[in-house]
Amino acid sequence: MKTVLVTGVDKGIGHALMETFLAEGYFVIGTFFSDRPKIHEHFKDFALDLGKPESIASCTMAITNFGKNIDILINNAGILADEEETQIVVEKLRKTLEVNLIGAIDFTQRLLPLLSEDAHIVNISSTAGSLELVGKVSHFMGHYPAYKISKAALNMYTRTLALELKDRGIIVSSVHPGWTKTDMGGEEAELTPTQAAKDLYRLAVSKPESGGFWFAGERLPW
């Protein structure tokens, strides 16, 4: 049985990813922030606050002690702290980078020894983090600059980590989940979390060229 680790399974896309991978016969390790998910025979949960280095250290230690190799790691958890802003608010930028970027990187780096030989690391990014698309895609034009900066930087982590892991054969990808009906995406969004999770699942179990940025099986511009 293969093992996937998903951060932020409390709700939204992370929760749907947990359900999708369980239905596909995976053992799921999930981190939760505030809402502990339902127990399942093939599921193990760990508390994690990506904004707190001590939480990242204790969570990754506990996952290591759990003793499973990880075949797929999905860095899904994230925050949109400056949705209403069109200008940088430094405190919101600091918090956003702490969770979406530094927390995700710290978490990943500590778990690298657990990754299987042909593992896939999937960083859930966004078209909002595309340098090329910024200002061109209407629904996020001008808004949430801190969130955009965090996802652009996460994309660069995908590229640098792909180089770091080249000789281990581990694939690293950035993926846009699509505009999805969650607390973050809102009611007007196009996809249900289950639809988004199914597409993310397809990408996660495939073997794309490492260091790519994807949506619905197609490359996105950086």
* Sites of contact with ligand NAP (CB under 6 A): 8, 10-14, 33-35, 48-51, 76-79, 99, 124, 126, 176-177, 179-180, 182-185, 189
- The least CB distance from residue 94 to ligand NAP, in Å, is 13
Residue 211 phi/psi, 5-degree rounding, is: 85, 25
- The least CB distance from residue 125 to ligand NAP, in Å, is 7
> In this complex, which beta carbon is closest to ligand NAP, that of residue 134 or of residue 184?
184
- The least CB distance from residue 162 to ligand NAP, in Å, is 19
Copy the structure tokens of residue 88.
């940088």
> In this complex, which beta carbon is closest to ligand NAP, that of residue 79 or of residue 114?
79
Q: Is 57 helix (H, G, I), strand (E, B) or coil?
A: helix
Nearest residue to ligand NAP on Cβ basis? 12
Copy the structure tokens of residue 218.
């197609």
- The least CB distance from residue 49 to ligand NAP, in Å, is 5
- The least CB distance from residue 98 to ligand NAP, in Å, is 8
> In this complex, which beta carbon is closest to ligand NAP, that of residue 103 or of residue 211?
103
Q: Provide the angle, in degrees to the nearest 10, between the axes of the packed helices 53-66 and 104-111.
A: 30
CA gap 124, 175 in Å, rounded: 5
Q: Which of 175, 178, 180 is nearest to 206 (CA)?
A: 175
DSSP-derived secondary structure letter, 180: B
Q: Which of 25, 113, 36, 14 is nearest to 68 (CA)?
A: 113
Cα 175 to Cα 23, 34, 202: the distances in Å are: 21, 25, 11
> In this complex, which beta carbon is closest to ligand NAP, that of residue 134 or of residue 189?
189
> In this complex, which beta carbon is closest to ligand NAP, that of residue 179 or of residue 214?
179
> In this complex, which beta carbon is closest to ligand NAP, that of residue 124 or of residue 171?
124
Q: Tell me if 112 sits within 8 A of 203, measured CB to CB.
A: no
- The least CB distance from residue 203 to ligand NAP, in Å, is 13
